[in-house]
Chain A
């Protein structure tokens, strides 16, 4: 198995109350649930007794109870702790479901899948919302690796900032920033001027940060001064049959009121400053040329972060 990663599998509010949630994390079916104290757990969504899904089950004080015969599994260890039909003095068979480490941060639920010790660097750690948040989830009809590629080659196929036209002119090549590839592309306000072809310098930028491992994507709408107007954190992970699970949160920054009148009115009306597409236009994706994604696939070399060497040098002096 590959080295482990923290995957973002759901929004915190999707796992509410006593009802378990079925998710797929890197192709593996998991059952998420919370105990009475609100602590979240993740178990393989398969009862070792008769292979049924555990996620339609019921949360009991001892753990998650299988809907079929009531075998109950502890969330932390995955051990079977109860078979209700047995007499209290009878031994419970040594059945175990694989349990996965779970961590919650900034409105996302993370599961550590793969081998190795779970570290404490969570994918959404840097996501710090201000003001009203806009959230959602979907299963998109596109494979996980293709989804990340399209985020670099044509993010306008996967999301939109209403009132903004994202152009196909990306600036240079993706550069590496830690465990991510970062790429900026030009954007313009819709309905202003003659269109993107007549703009000498783009008034807006769309910056996508696509992971080299794991599935945490950050998309930002920036003004010409490279100040963020909108931030969107999109979590992607492989679902079954070549689909991709998505969960996202995003918000408009306070300086958003600096935009054109229509944009400002939409913000005042509380309209979402972005839309992540759950349904994807296959024709648009099929027509996309592979360009910056070639770097992600290792077909062309990745440009290093300009400041990386300087930072490394500073660290070595410290």
Chain B
């Protein structure tokens, strides 16, 4: 090891000076921990911020606890503040997901579950082919940055999503204290290979309007990409922080209105795209934890991502000061159909 590296090894990464995505641990929010269809009487183990969540159904009723059901009585004295010492987390089912409250259970409220306008609230009729679980080898914040950031698809996913050739490409974004919304409007882009070969779009060019709405606390990403000619592929990507180095995403690619066989195949595209993302994310995540790293450089395409970093840092700072409330500008249950551009 050369001397420069030795100096680095002795100085810890400083969250005040640098963006350390894996140091974020935002609370008082609902995490979609599993698909409702996957939870039965046998407990499933899921993890949020390195904390165990066991999910099962007790005579049909959904339960979420810190311990395996058979151990709860014995383990209860060790239960955390996240369950108020009861060992049971607040839990709800909506949009085909099991939502678990991460934070002070006293402040858990059903009305804080984000609204997803294109999914049936009771989850009835969401086909299983739209649901795919993927794992990211990075902290949630880096994974969300990857999703906010659009230009990477032209390079990392050129073989599936497209080559980035277009007539014009405009990115806009706006934010509240709890959300970030990014809109990309592309005219006359080359048709994505996947849409051409299995999506039945025979045209050479298409227009795209893609809106991404990110809930900052729980990394819930709601997307509405609409292609002309073509169709909309509304999707939900909830990034659940497993820990500082890994995250899990139970996606819903709601392709029910797209033609067959694209409807069935498109949700599976994540099996191609996601390893491509992981190949860059894995070493990237490690470097944000290494001390003495130079700070990131940016281009104008990073403006939405950099805004995300600012908003997340601000929210984390507010929580450090003991303020876990939701700002007046940011009701998670607000109807975002217009924001997503669902009506035209």
Contact A70 B155, beta carbon cutoff 8 Å: yes
B323 CB–A CB distance under 8 Å: no
Contact A84 B164, beta carbon cutoff 8 Å: yes
Contact B154 A50, beta carbon cutoff 8 Å: no
A52 CB–B CB distance under 8 Å: yes
A199 CB–B CB distance under 8 Å: no
Give chain B's interface residue range (CB within 8 Å of chain A). 20 to 34
A300 CB–B CB distance under 8 Å: no
Q: Count how many pairs of residues, one from A and one from B, have CB atoms less than 8 Å apart in the complex.
A: 77
Render A24-62 as a binary contact track against B, CB cut-off 8 A, 1 for contact. Answer: 001110000000000000000010111111001000000
| Chain A nearest Cβ from B185, distance in angstroms | 15
Contact B2 A28, beta carbon cutoff 8 Å: yes
We find that the number of chain A residues with CB closer than 8 angstroms to chain B is 31
Residues from chain B with a CB closer than 8 A to the CB of A90 are 300
Contact A85 B293, beta carbon cutoff 8 Å: no
Interface 9-mer from B234-242, B257-265, B281-289 = B281-289
CA–CA, A294 and B149, complex, Å: 55
Residues from chain B with a CB closer than 8 A to the CB of A69 are 149, 151-152, 155, 299, 301
Residues from chain A with a CB closer than 8 A to the CB of B1 are 26-27, 238
Contact A27 to B149, CB < 8 A, known contacts A48-B294, A51-B287, A56-B279: no
| Chain A nearest Cβ from B281, distance in angstroms | 8
Which of A67, A68, A238 lies at the interface centre, i.e. has the most chain B CB atoms within 10 A of its CB? Answer: A68
Contact A84 B154, beta carbon cutoff 8 Å: yes
CA–CA, A38 and B199, complex, Å: 42
Residues from chain B with a CB closer than 8 A to the CB of A83 are 299, 301
Contact B151 A49, beta carbon cutoff 8 Å: no
A268 CB–B CB distance under 8 Å: no
B320 CB–A CB distance under 8 Å: no
Contact B280 A53, beta carbon cutoff 8 Å: yes
B106 CB–A CB distance under 8 Å: no
Can you spell out 30 A-B residue pairs with CB atoms less than 8 angstroms apart?
Answer: A2-B2, A27-B1, A48-B297, A49-B297, A49-B299, A50-B284, A51-B283, A51-B287, A51-B293, A52-B284, A53-B283, A65-B155, A67-B155, A67-B156, A67-B279, A67-B280, A69-B299, A70-B151, A70-B154, A71-B299, A83-B301, A85-B169, A85-B299, A85-B301, A86-B299, A86-B300, A95-B297, A113-B2, A114-B2, A238-B1
Write the residues of chain A forming the contact surface with B, with a CB cutoff of 8 angstroms.
1-2, 26-28, 46, 48-53, 56, 65-71, 80, 83-86, 90, 93, 95, 113-114, 238
In the complex, besides A27-B1, A27-B2, A27-B5, 19 extra interface pairs with C-beta distance below 8 angstroms are A1-B4, A28-B2, A28-B5, A46-B287, A48-B294, A51-B283, A51-B287, A51-B288, A51-B293, A53-B280, A53-B283, A65-B155, A67-B279, A69-B149, A69-B301, A70-B154, A70-B155, A83-B299, A93-B297
Write the residues of chain B forming the contact surface with A, with a CB cutoff of 8 angstroms.
1-5, 149, 151-152, 154-156, 164, 169, 279-280, 283-284, 287-288, 293-294, 296-302
Nearest 4 pairs of A and B residues by beta carbon: A95-B297, A51-B287, A27-B1, A52-B280
